[in-house]
Structure 1
Amino acid sequence: MGEERTSQAAPHGAGAVARPAMTLDYRQEDGQRLASLLWRFGPGWRMISSAVLGGGIGPREWVLNAQVASGYRRLDPADHLRALGPAGPGVGMMTVAYVDRYVRRGDGGVEAVATVGLRHPTWAAAPPDAADPVLEPGGEPVRPAGRPGRGGAAPVPGTINILVVVPVAMSDAALVNAVMTVTEAKTQALLETGYPGTGTASDAVCVAVPEHGPQEIFGGPRSTWGARIARAVHAAVLEGTRAWYRGPR
């Protein structure tokens, strides 16, 4: 099951925003039992996301992180996610990683939840003719040197999906900066574990902030809230990566 831990007390005033409840549910699809995490934020939240459903910047009321079957080939992922989520505007992410092995970490009022699957390491700046097993049918998975797969077999496919909830409003620029910070912290955690890449080709991120209130104008790793985002994401991805290497519980 997922892991949760929170470090540092939230600063004065940060608790004024009602935190969404996270629910874990299962469904039968493609002959498999698949997990989904759903956060119901309700009105009053603004999000930035790279997700196929609800991506961009704008008001959003829920976030869904849905596990799909390995070898997913549907050409309508946004419609699929919309059918799985509740009504209203929301963000939908998908992954073939085990969503019920989520890791949740907190820092100073910031909360980060990561689902981690690492079958295919990807360097962001790869040569144009580099073979990519994610895109080539039948390609062999690349295993980090000295790292065993699950039970000695090839690791299962996966994606790193990250949701970050921040209890203060942010400007558009700060939101973009926060996504950069999330990505940098994720990559730092991966490199610390010896993972030979900056992520996977299908990673997605979502940062949620209150729609109203004084806006923070910075989200970089040395800003107050950016530093908290970085520490929470780093801790979540670090533990998620270590758990992936350990294999099934």
Structure 2
Amino acid sequence: MITSPRPRGWTSSLHQVGGRPVMRWESDRAWRSLSSGVLGGGLGTSRWVLNATVPNDFDDDSPAEYLARLAETVGLAPDAGIGLLTAVDVHAAVTVARPGVTMCVTTGVGPHAKWPAVHDAEVSEYPRAGTVNAVVWLDHPATPDALVNAVITVTEAKTQAFWEAGVAGTGTCTDTVTLLCPVPAEGEEPTRYLGTRSPVGQALATAAHAAVATGLRQERAAFAESTG
């Protein structure tokens, strides 16, 4: 687990719950957030993020409730943050910093990534999916539309890393992106654009690319070791 650099204003800790690791980040104040996470997704404010390792055959019908209980177990108010799930051991998370951006990514692909538009495929043809969970902290406030823009930036950079690594797809069907930034102070002008032709957007793209590319290399090395 790469624990440095750390997002400004946040603390991180690793917990064991039920014999499995849970990565916890927490701030002493609420940050603006946009997430596709299972718990606490959507646009809002968040004071914490959990990324929890679950078994490969995890099949809970109420994953949000599972994460809420997990949050309480590690001392967090379940309605004040964002919860993510992955079959990847969160010890293998990769943290990358660029000017204005800190990103932590867990990368799990395995044999399951596919191109998204497979028109004649049955749902049953998709076995257990790998998951890429990307958590991003921005140093400065951003508007909600800029955060949506940032989701595109992260996803495009992840896709570039997949393509360069020869992965047959642009992501997995359970990938998530979580973005956090400070709530603007009165009179403070938030960032309104986070595409790749802005300084922070370009930093975001290079951080996402570096983190995912490193995660893919780690996953392949671990698989080779386990089968060698």
TM-score class normalised by the smaller sequence: 0.7 to 0.9
Cα-to-partner distance string for 1:167-223 (whole Å, 9 max, x where unaligned)? 111111101000110111111111111111111111111010001132100011111
Is the Cα–Cα contact under 8 Å of residues 45 and 209 in structure 1 kept in the other structure?
A: yes
The structure 1 residue matched to 2:141, chosen from 166, 169, 177, is 169
1:21 aligns with 2:11: yes
TM-score (norm 1): 0.80
2: CA distance, partners of 1:167 / 1:78: 28
Cα shift at 1:18: 4.1
Residue 129 (structure 1) shift? 2.7
Give 2:115's aligned amino acid: W
Moved more, 191-200 or 127-136: 127-136
Unaligned runs of 5+ in 1: 7-16, 137-156
Over the aligned positions, Cα root-mean-square deviation in angstroms equals: 1.9
Does residue 243 (structure 1) correspond to residue 215 (structure 2)? The answer is no
* Higher percent of residues as helix: 2
Give the total of aligned pairs: 214
Matches within 5 A, 1:1-249: 2-3=1-2, 18-28=8-18, 33-85=19-71, 86-87=76-77, 88-119=79-110, 120-129=112-121, 133-135=125-127, 158-212=130-184, 213-247=188-222
- Quote the offset at 1:4 in angstroms: 5.3
Offset at residue 134 of structure 1 (A):
3.3
C-alpha contact (below 8 Å) 1:23/1:39 kept by paired residues:
yes
SS for the counterpart of 2:69 is helix
SS at match of 2:58: coil
Mapped to 2, the partners of 1:99 and 1:223 lie a distance apart of 31
Cα deviation, 1:2-24, whole Å, max 9, x if unaligned, reads 23566xxxxxxxxxx94211111
- Give yes or no for contact 1:98–1:117 (8 Å, CA) kept in 2: no
Task: Tell me the amino acid that sits aligned with residue 200 of structure 1.
Answer: T
Contact 2:113 2:172 in 1 (8 A): yes
SS of equivalent to 1:218: coil
Report the alpha carbon displacement of residue 163 of structure 1 after superposing the two structures with TM.
0.3
Alignment deviations for residues 27-54 of structure 1 (CA, whole Å, 9 cap, x no partner): 22xxxx3111111023231010001111
Other-structure match for 1:140: none
Deviation at 1:128, TM superposition (A): 4.1
| Structure 2 counterpart of 1:147 | none
**Range that drifts further, 126-135 or 17-26:** 126-135
The secondary structure found in structure 2 opposite 1:97 is coil
Moved more, 96-105 or 35-44: 35-44
Determine the C-alpha separation between the residues in 2 that align with 1:132 and 1:196. Answer: 18
Deviations 1:133-167 (A, max 9, x none): 4358xxxxxxxxxxxxxxxxxxxx63110001001
